A and B are shown apart, each in its own frame.
Chain A
Amino acid sequence: MKVTPVARVQSEDFDVQLESRALAEGRKDVGALVTFTGLCRDEAGTLSALELEHYPGMAEAELMRIAEQAVQRWPLTGLTVVHRFGKIPPGENIVLVVAASAHRRAAFEAADFLMDYLKTRAPFWKKEHLVDGDSGSWVEAKSGDEDDAARWSS
Chain B
Amino acid sequence: MNIRYFAWVRERVGLEEETIEVPASVKTVADLIGHLKSLDENHAAAFEEEDAIRVALDQLHVEADAELGDAREAAFFPPMTGG
Contact surface of A with B, Cβ cutoff 8 Å:
38, 52-55, 57-58, 61, 83, 94-95, 115, 118-127, 138-141
Contacts and interface: CB of A to CB of B under 8 A. Distances in A.
Interface stretch (B3-11, B28-36, B37-45): B3-11
B82 A58 contact: no
A97 to B, nearest CB: 9
B52 to A, nearest CB: 9
A121 B80 CA distance: 7
B73 to A, nearest CB: 9
Contact of B59 (A57, A115, A118): A57
A121 B81 CA distance: 9
B59 A127 contact: no
Nearest to B4: A55
Interface of B: 4, 6-8, 56, 59, 61, 75, 77-83
A115 B83 CA distance: 7
Contacts of A140: 79, 81
Contacts of A83: 82-83
B75 A55 contact: yes
Contact of A61 (B6, B59, B75, B83): B59
- Among B6, B7, B56, B78, the one with the most A-chain Cβ atoms within 10 Å of its Cβ is B7
A148 to B, nearest CB: 10
- Among B4, B78, B79, the one with the most A-chain Cβ atoms within 10 Å of its Cβ is B79
A119 B82 contact: yes
A123 B77 contact: yes
A55 B75 CA distance: 9
Given A55-B59, A57-B59, A38 B81 contact: no
Contacts of B78: 125, 138, 141
A45 B66 CA distance: 44
Contacts of B59: 55, 57-58, 61
A123 B83 contact: no
